């Protein structure tokens, strides 16, 4: 019997289809899961960016912190002249008006006493302290001499341990300085010092006020500084002077008498004049003290009503005169006031012990708390402004101060601020300077304005061209030409913006400056020429039109546009000579009274518009081309023309996509960096003029982030600028999506 081997039956058709269906379903699920996870990760990434920006920004709005660290008892012999600390806050000191300096080591409260060498038979009749950052003081003697000294801290490292040793330094080499030749007592002494010039003002013989100026010159042989003294009588001084100040630059002397301050110009000792009598009169308030803010450009006036007012010089019809600027109220009966070394912060202590920390420019109350500081005598900041020394009663107390970002506030960022030396409140961004006395000006308004200005001019240039091009390409252009034009324009989007910015700054900007009349002529001729060319083509005989196939008719415009573009620039010098006397820039500046920057908004509008056009064109063209054919065919079948069909059917149906294209282009323009960085001049001004530049948020971040100190106010405000830019783009995209959805719902029934 022959054996038979059975063969397996082939798989049925239904089984194969089921297997393929399962695979397809699995792939669909994987794709759906991948898209979902990708979307969630994008959302998570946006949230992480958002919260990281907030994390970096938050400290600039934190309130200051003041914490008591230690206190030491001090003798009440002699009135206190000044108090302070070293940079490391390991030593605190007190100087009394008789020239005794008490140093206290914070760690163990040990004390070291040093005294100035007051000559025998003389008496100290007055004393004065310099601006805080110099840590100098002077004693006026009854023999016409002054003792000039300063606090000194030397650092050594015995056994690899830091040791700070206190001492007294004499900036002139010798402590004694002869101020009055007649030996008159130096009453109400005030002084200012720098390495080659010293000024002393004092009330001397017969209650007259004198100014002694010592000028130093280095001897070429001995290399020693030789001082020449010159003394003059001050004119028109008040009979009673309560407080006196001398600015560190030795240009101005201020004598306060009652509610008036007499301000003298003492820059030239041979030509001293009364510059201004500043009226400090306030209703039911009396001036209790005057002092200089850091930088000595502002005058702080304390009143017994608990108000501190700020005055500084403002340019006016009669020159630069002091003017009331702002005030801080509710500070109580102020017992002591101290300014920081370099920043515009100051602190006050009221008679009942309330400590207030304030910042003038941002008008912020940084800290307010009551401590055991009743009856304060004197107060001073440490060099790094991270500590505060207060003498209240018979105690010298040290406070830790955390006040990292006092200059930043919402009002300083978004409102006009009256900065020292400016004629009026302004929006200013100026983050750095070469001066220690410089106050950072961190207004974001010029940057936000510049961002919107750059985007506005770019959209004016890009939107008409991109939308009109998309309409013609999608609706009128032949398929063969469209297959070449659309990819070509989309490839433009791959062009690096740094190349566009480079060309705009180095080639386009000079070209526009030299041929501005030609460019303006081109903007007028181009649309007129295109319309006339189309009209002339429509009037040509059919046999001539047949020479150029209908498929390529739009290419006829290329030589026309090229010719009139060349013609406009070729005739530009003639127009400039005929209408603008040969210099368009001078005409704009002198005749029209407008500033002209070579790298201006016109250059940015053209260059950035060129970068934005592909984005808007591509999205809008896809939206128009995707309108169902049965809609346009039905309209044409009912007798509508192609233009009527376009305006009443196609564009309405495609309007959500067109609007999205415009908003995407706007978002791209708002966030653009390299073009505005290289083609705007980066001037942070607020002017809509097309002939002036701007500075945008993105460009500012790119320029200044590398040079900002990590953790500084500048650094954190730059992150705040990035946050504002993030909010801008988020806002525009949200508005675009909302409007797009509403347009889609409205025209979905077509």
Q: Buried (b) or exposed (e) across 135-160, using 16+ Cβ within 10 A?
A: bbbbbbbbbbbbbbbbbebeeeeeee
SS3 call for 161: coil
Alpha carbon distances (Å) from 278 to 140, 267, 291, 329:
27, 19, 14, 21
Give 332's DSSP letter: -
pLDDT, residue 248, reads 92
Within 10 Å of residue 87's Cβ, how many Cβ atoms?
A: 14
In eight-state DSSP terms, residue 64 is P
Query: Would you say residue 334 has pLDDT above 80?
Result: yes
Query: What whole-number distance in Å separates Cα of residue 588 and Cα of residue 579?
Result: 12
Mean pLDDT of the chain: 87
Q: How many whole angstroms separate alpha carbon 201 and alpha carbon 192?
A: 9
Q: Is 410 helix (H, G, I), strand (E, B) or coil?
A: helix
Task: Read off the pLDDT of each residue in 231-244 and give the average, rounded to a whole number.
Answer: 91
Residues 6+ apart with CB under 8 A from 573: 515
Asked if 342 and 133 touch (Cβ cutoff 8 Å), the reply is yes
Q: How many CA atoms lie within 13 A of 153 on its CB side?
A: 21
Residue 576 pLDDT grade (very low, low, confident, very high; cuts 50, 70, 90): confident
Express as a percent the part of the chain with pLDDT over 70.
95
Q: Which range among 111-120, 374-383, 738-747 shows the weakest confidence by mean pLDDT?
A: 738-747
pLDDT tens digits, 708-731: 888 888 999 999 999 999 888 888
**138 — alpha (psi -120 to 50), left (phi > 0) or beta?**
beta
**Alpha helix segments (H runs only) across 261-377:** none
Instruction: Give the pLDDT confidence score for residue 380 in this predicted structure.
Output: 94
**Three-state DSSP state, 656:** helix
Within 10 A of 475 (CB to CB), how many other CB atoms are there?
19
Asked if 666 and 613 count as a contact pair (C-beta separation under 8 A), the reply is no
Q: Is the pLDDT of residue 11 over 60?
A: no
Q: Which two tokens stand for residue 419?
A: 């900065």
Count other Cβ atoms within 10 Å, centred on residue 434.
Answer: 5
Give the C-alpha separation, 672 to 497, whole Å. 8
The SS3 of residue 139 is: strand
Average pLDDT over every residue of 669-677: 87
Q: What's the rounded mean pLDDT across residues 3-23?
A: 63
How many alpha carbons fall within 13 Å on the CB side of residue 76?
Answer: 7
- Give the mean pLDDT of 236-241: 90
Phi, psi of 30 (to 5 degrees): -65, -40
Q: Is the pLDDT of residue 374 over 50?
A: yes
pLDDT at res. 750: 55
Residue 593 corresponds to which tokens in the numbers above?
């009274």
Identify the residue with better confidence: 173 or 21.
Answer: 173
Distance CA 329, CA 327 (A): 7
Share of the chain above pLDDT 90, in %: 38
Q: Can you point out the beta strands (E) in 687-737?
A: none
> Rounded to an integer, what distance in angstroms lies between the CA atom of residue 329 and that of residue 310?
12
Instruction: Please give the radius of gyration of the chain, using alpha carbons only, rounded to the nearest integer.
Output: 38
Model pLDDT, residue 345? 92
Can you say how many angstroms the Cα of residue 160 is from the centroid of all Cα atoms in its chain?
Answer: 43
Per-residue pLDDT at 438: 78
> What 3-state class would DSSP assign to 318?
coil
Under the banding of pLDDT at 50, 70 and 90, the label for residue 12 is low
Other Cβ atoms less than 10 A from the Cβ of 663: the count is: 20
Q: What's the confidence (pLDDT) of residue 1?
A: 43
Give the helix ranges, DSSP H, for 472-508: 479-492, 497-503
Local structure of 572: helix, strand or coil: helix
Distance of alpha carbon 584 from alpha carbon 563, whole angstroms = 24
Mean pLDDT calculated for residue range 98-126: 90
Query: Are the C-beta atoms of 360 and 346 separated by less than 8 Å?
Result: yes
Largest CA distance in the chain: 154
Q: How far apart are CA 730 and CA 727, in angstroms?
A: 5
Cα–Cα distance, 89 to 82 (Å, whole number): 16
pLDDT at res. 369: 92
Contact 599, 679 (CB under 8 A): yes
- Please determine, for residue 650, whether its predicted confidence score (pLDDT) is greater than 90: no
**Cα 509 to Cα 498: distance, rounded to the nearest angstrom:** 15
CATH code: domain 445-706 is: 1.10.3720
**For residues 158-167, average pLDDT:** 90
Domain boundaries, the chain: 65-414, 445-706
pLDDT band at 210 (very low <50, low <70, confident <90, very high): very high
CB neighbour class for 107 (10 Å; exposed up to 12, middle 13-18, buried from 19): exposed
pLDDT of residue 15: 67
Cβ distance 651 to 658 under 8 Å? yes
Residue 149 pLDDT class (50, 70, 90 cuts): very high
CATH superfamily of 65-414: YVTN repeat-like/Quinoprotein amine dehydrogenase (2.130.10.10)
Distance between CA 608 and CA 602 in Å, rounded?
A: 10
Tell me: pLDDT of 6 over 70. no
Report CA 381 to chain centroid distance, whole Å.
27
Q: 445-471 vs 697-704: helix axis angle to the nearest 10?
A: 120
Which H or E element spans position 470?
helix 445-471
CA-angle at 108, arms to 105 and 111, nearest 5°: 45
Residue 523 three-state SS: helix
Q: How far apart are CA 444 and CA 424, in angstroms?
A: 18
| Residue 223 confidence class, pLDDT cut points 50, 70, 90 | low
Asked whether residue 398 carries a pLDDT value surpassing 90, the answer given is yes
| Overall average pLDDT of the 598-614 stretch | 90
Tell me how far CA of residue 237 lies from CA of 231, 262, 269, 397, 514, in angstroms: 16, 8, 16, 39, 61
Q: What is the arithmetic mean of pLDDT over 433-454?
A: 85
Q: What is the pLDDT of residues 476-490, one digit of tens each?
A: 888 888 888 888 888
E strand spans, 403-449: 429-430, 441-442
Return d(Cα 683, Cα 446) in angstroms, integer: 9
């Amino acid at each position: 019997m022959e054996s038979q081997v059975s063969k397996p039956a082939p798989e049925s058709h239904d089984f194969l289809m089921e297997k393929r269906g399962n695979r397809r379903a699995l792939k669909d699920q994987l794709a759906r899961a991948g898209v979902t996870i990708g979307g969630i990760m994008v959302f998570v990434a946006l949230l992480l960016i958002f919260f990281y920006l907030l994390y970096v920004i938050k400290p600039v709005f934190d309130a200051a912190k003041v914490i008591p660290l230690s206190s030491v008892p001090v003798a009440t012999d002699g009135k206190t002249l000044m108090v302070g600390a070293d940079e490391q806050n390991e030593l605190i000191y007190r100087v009394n008006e008789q020239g005794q300096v008490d140093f206290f080591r914070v760690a163990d409260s040990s004390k070291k006493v040093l005294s100035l060498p007051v000559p025998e038979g003389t008496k100290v009749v007055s004393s004065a302290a310099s601006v805080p950052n110099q840590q100098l003081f002077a004693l006026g003697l009854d023999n016409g001499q002054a003792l000039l000294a300063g606090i000194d801290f030397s650092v050594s490292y015995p056994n690899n341990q830091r040791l700070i040793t206190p001492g007294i330094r004499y900036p002139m080499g010798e402590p004694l300085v002869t101020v009055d030749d007649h030996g008159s007592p130096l009453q109400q002494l005030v002084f200012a010092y720098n390495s080659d010039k010293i000024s002393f003002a004092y009330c001397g013989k017969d209650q007259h006020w004198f100014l002694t100026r010592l000028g130093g010159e280095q001897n070429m042989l001995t290399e020693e500084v030789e001082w020449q003294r010159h003394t003059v009588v001050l004119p028109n001084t008040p009979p009673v002077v309560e407080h006196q100040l001398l600015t560190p630059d030795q240009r101005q002397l201020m004598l306060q008498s009652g509610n008036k301050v007499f301000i003298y110009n003492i820059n030239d000792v041979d030509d001293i004049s009364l510059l201004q009598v500043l009226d400090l009169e306030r209703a039911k308030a009396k001036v209790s003290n005057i002092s200089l803010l850091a930088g000595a450009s502002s005058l702080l006036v304390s009143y017994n009503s608990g108000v501190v007012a700020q005055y500084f010089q403002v340019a006016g019809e009669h020159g630069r005169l002091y003017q009331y600027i702002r005030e801080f109220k509710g500070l109580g009966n102020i017992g002591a006031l101290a300014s920081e070394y370099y920043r515009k912060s100051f602190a006050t202590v009221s008679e009942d012990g309330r400590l207030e920390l304030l910042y003038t420019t941002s008008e912020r109350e940084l800290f307010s708390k009551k401590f055991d500081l009743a009856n304060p005598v004197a107060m001073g900041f440490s060099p790094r402004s991270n500590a505060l020394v207060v003498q209240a009663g018979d105690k010298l107390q040290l406070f830790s101060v955390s006040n990292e970002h006092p200059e930043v506030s919402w009002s300083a960022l978004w409102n006009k601020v009256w900065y020292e030396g400016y004629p009026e409140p302004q929006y200013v961004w100026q983050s750095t300077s070469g001066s220690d006395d410089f106050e950072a000006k961190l207004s974001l308004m010029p940057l936000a304005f510049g961002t919107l200005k750059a985007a506005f001019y770019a959209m004016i240039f890009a939107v008409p061209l991109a939308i009109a091009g998309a309409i013609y390409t999608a609706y009128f252009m032949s398929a063969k030409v469209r297959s070449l034009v659309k990819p070509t324009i989309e490839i433009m989007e791959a062009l690096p913006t740094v190349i566009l910015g480079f060309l705009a700054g180095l080639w386009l900007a000079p070209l526009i400056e030299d041929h501005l009349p030609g460019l303006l002529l081109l903007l007028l001729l181009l649309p007129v020429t295109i319309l006339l060319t189309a009209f002339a083509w429509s009037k040509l005989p059919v046999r001539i039109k047949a020479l150029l196939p209908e498929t390529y008719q739009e290419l006829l415009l290329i030589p026309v546009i090229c010719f009139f573009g060349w013609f406009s620039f070729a005739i530009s010098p003639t127009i400039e000579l005929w209408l603008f006397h040969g210099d368009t820039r001078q005409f704009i500046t002198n005749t029209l009274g407008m500033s002209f920057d070579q790298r201006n908004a016109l250059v940015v509008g053209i260059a950035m518009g060129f970068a934005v056009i592909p984005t808007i064109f591509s999205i809008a063209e896809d939206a128009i081309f995707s309108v169902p054919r049965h809609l346009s065919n039905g309209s044409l079948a009912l007798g509508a023309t192609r233009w009527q069909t376009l305006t009443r059917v196609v564009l309405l149906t495609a309007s959500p996509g067109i609007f999205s294209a415009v908003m995407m282009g706007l978002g791209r323009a708002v966030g653009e960096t390299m073009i505005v960085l290289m083609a705007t001049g980066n001037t942070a001004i607020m002017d809509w003029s097309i002939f002036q530049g701007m500075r945008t948020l993105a460009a500012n971040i790119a320029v200044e982030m590398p040079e900002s100190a990590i953790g500084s106010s500048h650094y954190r405000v730059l992150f705040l600028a990035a946050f504002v830019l993030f909010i801008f783009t988020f806002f525009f995209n949200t508005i675009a999506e909302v409007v797009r959805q509403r347009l889609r719902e409205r025209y979905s029934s077509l």
